Amino acid sequence: MSKSQKKADLWYSKYIRVRSAVEHDGEYYNKCISCGKPMLLKQSQCGHFIGIGKLIHRYNHLNTWPQCWVCNCLRSGESIHDYEQNLNELISPQVVEYLKDSRNNFCKLSKTDYEEIASKYKVLFLNLCADKGIIPW
């Protein structure tokens, strides 16, 4: 993985986790899209419904939601059914079908594309942190 792709992944992941975070008693939490477990913001991961190997949806907001480490790393194959079921309720069955049907569409990203993605999501992350009163990390 290139340095520019790592930066794009980093800022995109941070943005996705902050996007869904809700405040409770002075702490920010996310709910795992697969198992529903609440977790502290910084403990959540950016889980992909269609895997990151399919570049077409790697940075697609509808394809990425907070996931706990167990579901994202240990149960990735098992938790995909739960992910899909909850995603159907969260966005819509039609959008989930679109994600699945288009996952093999060709997509190639250049170094410049990755740099633009990183820059875009860094700004979005920092702005969202400011809006929610979250200290960026």
Mean pLDDT of the chain: 95
62 within a domain of the structure (yes/no): yes
112 within a domain of the structure (yes/no): yes
Alpha carbons within 13 angstroms on the beta-carbon side of residue 52 total 12
**Percent of the chain residues topping a pLDDT of 90:** 93
pLDDT at 57 over 90: yes
Q: How many domains does the chain have?
A: 1
135 within a domain of the structure (yes/no): no
CA distances from 12 to 32, 81, 85, 97 (A): 17, 24, 24, 23
Token readout for 8 is: 């794009």
136 within a domain of the structure (yes/no): no
133 within a domain of the structure (yes/no): no
137 within a domain of the structure (yes/no): no
Convert the pLDDT of each residue in 74-126 to its tens digit.
987 678 899 999 999 999 999 999 999 999 999 999 999 999 999 999 999 99
Domain ranges, residue 46: 3-127
